[in-house]
Amino acid sequence: MNTFLAEVEGRAFVIARAALRNEADALDVIQETMLRLVRKYADRASDEWRPLFYRILGNCIIDQQRKSNVRRRVMAVQPAGDSETDPVEQAPGHPGAEPDRQAMADETLHSLHAAVQTLPARQQQAFLLRVAEDMNVTQTATVMECSTGSVKTHYSRAVHTLRKILGDHWS
């Protein structure tokens, strides 16, 4: 189990961060996913762990997105003066602090994350499982508990939307 979790944790974190755009939330989701897998499915055959892990991860991401939406609505109701965010912390880093190439890659990645977050949950899941986790259509269908046809549709729509959104950033 340790080896399996060590293998998947990095990619799972990338998927969670792309879907949630928040590092702390992504880490919480990974923690919860690992705990649920160990508690409920540790006695299953090891080849079943991967689809189970990503199914739990998908559910946890959706739960977290709902919580974040509620939080956002509550924060929107609060008066602006209550905000405790430090403007210095929020300011972008100095452009010269990193090499240009890395900065460009970071910018592209951020725009990809932002675009992925606008996708409907099922499209987001299909895209991230197929691209970030390199799953084929059948494996993705197993994780998403739907037909391979649905996976193809979700994935195709996701790619189409992302290409449309990213357009200029994607050269």
Partner 1 sequence: MNDDRQTQSDDEAFAQRAKELLDAEGENLSAPVRSKLNQARQAALDELPAEKSGSFGGFNLGPVSVVMMIFSVSVMLWFFDLTLIEETEQEPVAAAEEQVTPDDFDMLLSVADLELMNDLDFYTWLGEELESDEDTTG
Contacting residues toward partner 1, per CB under 8 A: 1-2, 5-6, 9-11, 13-14, 17-18, 23, 27, 30-31, 34-35, 37-39, 42-43, 105, 108-109, 112, 130-132, 134, 156, 159-160, 162-163, 170
Q: Which is nearer to partner 1, 62 or 159 (CB)?
A: 159
* Cβ count near 57 (within 10 Å): 28
CB of 84 to partner 1, least distance (A): 22
3-state secondary structure of 21: coil
CB of 30 to partner 1, least distance (A): 6
Q: What string of DSSP letters covers 110-154?
A: HHHHHHHHTS-HHHHHHHHHHHTS---HHHHHHHHTS-HHHHHHH
Residue 149 structure tokens: 């046809």
Q: Which is nearer to partner 1, 70 or 104 (CB)?
A: 104
CB of 171 to partner 1, least distance (A): 10
CB of 82 to partner 1, least distance (A): 29
Q: Which is nearer to partner 1, 81 or 92 (CB)?
A: 92
Q: Which is nearer to partner 1, 20 or 34 (CB)?
A: 34
- Is the distance from CB of 114 to CB of 18 less than 8 angstroms? no
Q: Which is nearer to partner 1, 34 or 143 (CB)?
A: 34
CB of 77 to partner 1, least distance (A): 31
Selection from 150, 125, 110, 151 nearest residue 22 by Cα: 110
3-state secondary structure of 157: helix
Directed axis angle between helix 49-77 and helix 23-41, to 10°?
140
Distance of CA 79 to the CA centre of its chain: 30
